[in-house]
Amino acid sequence: MTEVTLVHGDITEQVVDAVVNAANSSLLGGGGVDGAIHRRGGPEILAACRELRATTLADGLATGQAVATTAGRLPARHVIHVVGPIWSATRDRSHLLRSCYEQALRVADELGTLSVAFPAVSAGVYGWPLDDAARIAVDTVLATPTGVREARFVLFDERSYAAFRAALTT
Ligand code: AR6
């Protein structure tokens, strides 16, 4: 049974087995959560991403997929990178957003992790409407069979926290 918890805070400070990064296909860094994770985690994470690009992920990580690296100097043991879809008003890409959470939990299970911290994937630079992003995130994690005991959503601001709380309680 997975317990879903909500925290108002910074994902880079979470003491968990794995933190999920809202990355882009290049895996070579960016802003938002991605920038914070690389900044706080140090160069080992980028080195591991470069190694993936040089070997198994020459074309980058596809949208909706997940891959793990070291967490470098973060308090977590692993970073699980996912690539969320960019919001589109004309195309339904919600299956790709669901896939991020499903694939992150699959990788978490492969690693044997019991606690995983998630950001609100796609709800920042990628423009996904917050209430919908929260609903998809919570519903998908609750519906995905996994050995992960705690799925912790880490929300950076009041608005996101409120959206996730509403998704969890209604
Ligand atoms: N801890 C927790 N949540 C955070 C943090 C943090 N330290 N920083 C931001 N957020 P985003 P995306 C929130 O833009 O929409 C990057 O450049 C933020 O307020 O990080 O999936 C990548 O390289 C928002 O609610 O991810 C990609 O190019 C949520 O995390 C692109 O952005 C996600 O915002 C991915 O965009």
Q: What one-character-per-residue DSSP string does the chain give?
A: -PEEEEEES-GGG--SSEEEEEE-TT-S--SHHHHHHHHHH-HHHHHHHHHHHHTTTTT-PPTT-EEEEE-TTSSSSEEEEEEPPPP-SSS--HHHHHHHHHHHHHHHHHHT-SEEEE--TTSSTT---HHHHHHHHHHHHHHS--S-SEEEEEESSHHHHHHHHHHHH-
Residue nearest to atom 12 of ligand 1 (CA): 122
Residue 170: pLDDT band (50, 70, 90) is confident
When pLDDT is averaged across residues 130-152 and rounded to a whole number, the result is 98
CATH number, domain of 163, equals 3.40.220.10
**Pocket residue to mutate for ligand 1, from 25, 33, 83, 88, most atoms within 8 A of Cβ:** 33
Residue nearest to atom 5 of ligand 1 (CA): 33
The pLDDT of residue 126 is: 98
Domain tally for the chain?
A: 1
pTM tops 0.85:
yes
Is the pLDDT at 1 greater than 90, yes or no? no
Q: Is 126 in the pocket of ligand 1 (CB under 6 A)?
A: yes
The pLDDT of residue 125 is: 98
| 131 among known catalytic residues | no
User: What does the mean pLDDT of the chain come to?
Assistant: 98
When pLDDT is averaged across residues 130-146 and rounded to a whole number, the result is 98
Residue 130 is part of which domain span?
Answer: 3-169
Instruction: Using the atom order of ligand 1, give the atom closest to the CA of residue 26.
Output: 23
The pLDDT of residue 47 is: 98
Q: What is the pLDDT of residues 15-29, one digit of tens each?
A: 999 999 999 999 999
Using a pLDDT cut of 90, give the percent of the chain over it. Answer: 99
